[in-house]
């Protein structure tokens, strides 16, 4: 196993631990391995897409309703100190996971598009028989 891969795995498990410390189920908010997307079926990718959309909605709702902030709300005062009226650490963790999921979602859509083309080609071929 390469050092960069083990570092990535360590960061992912550490991140999952931090999410758990926020009372967020780490199984509900999972991290996806983008390199596995091309090896999955169209149906599996569709399910992952639905899961990511659900996770994103939950995380955005968590920011909005529990922490009363959004992705652009400042986390520091004008003096540069962390705001005392919000949980800066929790908000940063949630924002980080949102960004990661958005990146995964973008990659997933690219793979899903090519899989969809393959699926339609297969269905067309079957219909011609």
Check residue 33 and report its DSSP letter.
-
**The pTM is what?**
0.75
Looking at the chain, the number of H-run helices and the number of E-run strands are: 3, 0
Give the mean model confidence (pLDDT) for residues 15-23: 62
Check residue 65 and report its DSSP letter.
I
Domain residue ranges in the chain: 3-128
pLDDT, the chain, mean: 83
Angstrom distances, CA of residue 28 to CA of 13, 45, 51, 58? 14, 17, 9, 10
Check residue 12 and give its pLDDT: 59
Provide the pLDDT confidence category of residue 4 given band limits of 50, 70 and 90: very low
């Amino acid at each position: 196993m390469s050092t960069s891969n083990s570092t990535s795995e360590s960061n992912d498990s550490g991140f999952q631990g931090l999410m758990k410390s926020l009372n967020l189920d780490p199984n509900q908010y999972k991290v996806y391995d983008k390199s596995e997307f091309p090896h999955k079926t169209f149906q599996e990718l569709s399910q992952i897409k639905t899961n990511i959309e659900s996770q994103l909605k939950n995380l955005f709702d968590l920011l909005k309703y529990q922490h009363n902030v959004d992705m652009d709300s400042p986390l520091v005062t004008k003096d540069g100190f962390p705001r005392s009226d919000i949980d800066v650490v929790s908000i940063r963790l949630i924002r980080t996971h949102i960004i990661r999921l958005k990146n995964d979602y973008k990659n997933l859509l690219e793979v899903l598009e090519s899989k969809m083309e393959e699926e339609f080609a297969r269905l067309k071929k079957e219909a011609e028989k």
